[in-house]
Amino acid sequence: MEMRLPGAALLLCLVDVLHASAAEERGAVLQGTACPAFLMFDNAAYLADMTFELPCSCKPQEVSSVTWYFQEKAGSRRTTVLTDFAGTVIVDSSHIRTGSAVLQRFSIRMFSLIVFRAQVRDSGHYLCGTEEGHFFYGYDVDVQPTEHLRVAFVDRGQHVQDDYTRKLFRLFTAFWDWSRCDRCGVRGEQRRIGLCYLRSGQLHPRYRTAVPNVTSCGSRAVPARFQRPLRLHSPELAIRSCLTPCQKKDAPEEGVQAISNVIAKLGEKPWQPRVPTQFHRQPAGSSLTLGCPGARPEHAVAWDRGSVRLYRSRYLLGVNSSMRVFIDHGDHLHIRRVRLSDRGTYYCWRQGRLAAGFRLSITYPARRRRTVHDPETIYAIKAIGASYVLITIIFIVLQVCCCCWRLCRGLARS
């Protein structure tokens, strides 16, 4: 008897086979990498709101799966155990409640740990090891805050901050390379991220850095007596305008563009980019955060709303304290208190090319019938009752005052 699998089941089987094959290939690469004799911590620094990946760079040959651990400080008793049994599951030794923020921002894929929208509290040691607690590789992750981030718009003649030098150490900004132009064919922007770093000969020897005697300011390798001066130097971000042509495959064909111009003039729907589009239904009054698919911390990401360019010089977080729509330093687009006027199609650019679209529609929550037990109803009843009591008291006081005045007036005449 011949048995045929449905198309969806066949596709799932193919995905499982490809995932198993990729995992075996990744495991074979790791088995060929020798682990250090003593556990060392590689320094890695990022800005808050960034998404980053930590690869488990080595493992013994007899180990087929890895478990990730997080410690705020070396040797701490409070350890978060990260594992991917049955998908992506996170177990914490202090009994983290299901649905907490930690459970939503960690993922393990092919022996690598991915941290989504990292926060300052995520700074610490990340250890790759076995379920029994044997460690192979470690990272010293420093997530630097953006509350006091210094932004310099180069086109306006603004400059970055100077170094801070003392006898035993020097604070300076280590800049990443300028990113690619985040748009093509139109005016775009480039950004250059600068993180706080420290140079000193008194760093802890167990921490490994790319440059000798240099580590990020939030690293656990920095002596405790240097912690207070570190607040004097904050991360930086430099932004400048750029213009780069599109490749032929990124731009619409000349005939298509000409036809689209004619249609647009006739008032019909103009040409739209051929990119994968997601559909979002968002309740009015809620908050929305959009991330560009496949974007990494070093990528150049830009956002448009239809044909309107959302440039960082106007929409960057911190440029205006009253902004309702803004872009954070992790390249996420935020819309606070969503309104009906926010509906439309939003596009994200990645590395100078249109990457994805998000079609946003706004819904209004259905009005439900209120009861006497609703908090709003109880509050309204209390407010109305208190108002009547207050008015009654004022009325009685006025009447008593009038009676007393009449009584005193009568006694005076007599």
Residue 381: partners with Cβ closer than 8 Å, 6 or more residues away = 372
Strand partners, 193: 237
Q: Where are the alpha helices (DSSP H) in 94-150?
A: 101-104
Show pLDDT as tens, one digit a residue, over the chain (414 residues): 333 434 434 333 433 433 444 444 444 444 446 677 778 889 999 988 888 889 988 877 777 778 888 888 766 667 778 764 434 444 333 333 333 344 467 777 777 888 888 888 889 999 888 888 788 888 999 999 888 888 889 988 888 788 888 888 899 999 999 999 999 999 999 999 999 999 998 888 888 888 889 999 989 888 888 877 777 788 999 999 999 998 876 554 444 444 444 444 444 445 567 788 889 888 888 888 898 988 888 889 999 999 899 999 899 987 777 789 999 888 899 998 898 999 999 999 999 999 999 999 998 876 556 666 666 678 788 889 999 999 999 999 999 999 888 888 877 776
Domain 277-363 in the same topology as domain 22-144: yes
Q: Is the dihedral of CA 367, 370, 376, 379 positive or negative?
A: positive
Alpha carbon separation from 261 to 57, 255, 354 (Å, rounded): 52, 10, 20
* Residue with the two structure tokens 């076995």: 130
Provide the token pair at 166: 């003392």
Could you confirm whether domain 277-363 is CATH 3.60.20.10?
no
Measured in degrees and rounded to the nearest 5, phi and psi for residue 71 equal -130, 130
Burial class (CB in 10 A: 0-12, 13-18, 19+), 75: exposed
**The pLDDT value given to residue 370:** 63
- In the β-sheet with 79-83, what is the strand arrangement from edge to edge? 89-92, 79-83, 67-71, 124-129, 135-144, 41-47, 207-208
For residue 209, what is the DSSP state? Answer: -
Contact criterion met (CB below 8 Å) for 117 and 50: yes
Strand partners, 49: none
Residue 411, SS3 per DSSP: helix
- The CA distance from 175 to 161, in Å, is 12
- The CA distance from 298 to 190, in Å, is 11
Mark 185-198 as b/e (b = at least 16 C-beta within 10 Å).
eeebbbbbbbbbbb
Closest CA to 70 of 119, 138, 143, 126: 126
Closest CA to 327 of 279, 290, 299: 290
Question: What residue ranges in 145-276 does DSSP mark as E strands?
Answer: 150-153, 164-165, 170-175, 187-199, 207-208, 214-216, 236-243
- The CA distance from 280 to 304, in Å, is 16
Sketch the domain layout of the chain as residue ranges: 22-144, 150-243, 277-363
Closest CA to 53 of 298, 332, 352: 298
Closest CA to 245 of 354, 355, 352: 352
- The CA distance from 192 to 181, in Å, is 11
Alpha carbon separation from 17 to 12, 77, 139, 254, 365 (Å, rounded): 9, 39, 31, 43, 43
Closest CA to 332 of 123, 118, 180: 118
- The CA distance from 128 to 111, in Å, is 9
Residue 195, SS3 per DSSP: strand
Give the fold, CATH level 3, of 22-144: Immunoglobulin-like (2.60.40)
